[in-house]
Amino acid sequence: MKRNTETTTESERRTPAAEPEMDVQQTQTWHRSSVLPKQVQAQAASEEKVGAEVLQTPSRPNDLLLEILDWLRYILSAILIGLLLVVFVIQRNAVIGESMDPTLHPNDQVLVEKVSKLWHGISYGDIVTIRTRDLPQHEDGPNIIKRVIGMPGDTIEIKDGVVYRNGEYLKETYLPDSTVTEIRNPDYAQVTLGPDEYFVMGDNRAVSLDSRSIGPIPADHMIGEVLLRFYPWQDFGQP
């Protein structure tokens, strides 16, 4: 009977000792399955919250100033490019007066390019714009538009209502058939052009104030060649 009692007692002693080991395992299992995922979720939620706060943070004054300066840089660059184009490449001109009738009419809007005179020069028949500063009868007046009749080295003669170039009759197909070219100044009825001189006339020979009156035009007074007429729209194109 004592043995049974002792056995029972030992059994009772061992049984409580096993229970704590199961509690530890359960605790570890609970820790792995429950605690860590909650921590990860909490951390992810915290990061999302911080990210949202960063996105909602208003721009600092320095950032706004940098953005304004960046826009100013683009605007100033565009203005500078536009000025360079107008000064060196192309510009808009309005026709004043009737000296180029019927080819060009008063208030026609034309584009004048300034590059070709530097590359391959000005050619016969080109319509050009001319700076009038220091020209006789045009001092500081508006620029004029004329047609090139003679180039450096040519001899131009006006006789019997027509034009001769280097001794040959000049057929001017751009003029109406009834056009008469009159002598305006006897000094320029026959002239041989220098190395940097051009002889120009308007298509409306009856009213044009041109080389017949003021003589040859120096090369440095040539602004550029009329590229096209863009207004009025019905006459759009090269004149």
pLDDT digits (tens, 9 = 90+) for 207-223: 999 999 999 999 999 99
Tell me the average pLDDT of the chain: 79
CA 12 to chain centre: 99
* Active-site position among 114, 146, 208, 211: 146
Dig out the tokens for 180 from the structure: 């008469």
* Active-site position among 46, 59, 99, 123: 99
pLDDT of residue 6: 42
pLDDT of residue 55: 46
Dig out the tokens for 94 from the structure: 């309005």
Is position 99 annotated as part of the catalytic site?
Answer: yes
pLDDT of residue 226: 93
For the cut 80, the answer to whether the pLDDT of residue 205 exceeds it is: yes
Compute the distance between CA of residue 71 and CA of residue 79 in angstroms, rounded to an integer: 13
For the cut 50, the answer to whether the pLDDT of residue 11 exceeds it is: no
At 82-113, the pLDDT tens digits run 766 666 678 888 999 999 999 999 999 999 98
Cβ–Cβ under 8 Å, residues 185 and 213: yes
For the cut 70, the answer to whether the pLDDT of residue 149 exceeds it is: yes
pLDDT of residue 48: 60
Compute the distance between CA of residue 223 and CA of residue 144 in angstroms, rounded to an integer: 10
Dig out the tokens for 206 from the structure: 């009856």
Whole-model pTM: value is 0.66
CA 199 to chain centre: 35
pLDDT of residue 13: 46
- Percentage, residues of the chain above pLDDT 90: 49
Mean pLDDT to the nearest integer, 160-164: 96
pLDDT of residue 19: 46
Dig out the tokens for 177 from the structure: 């058939």
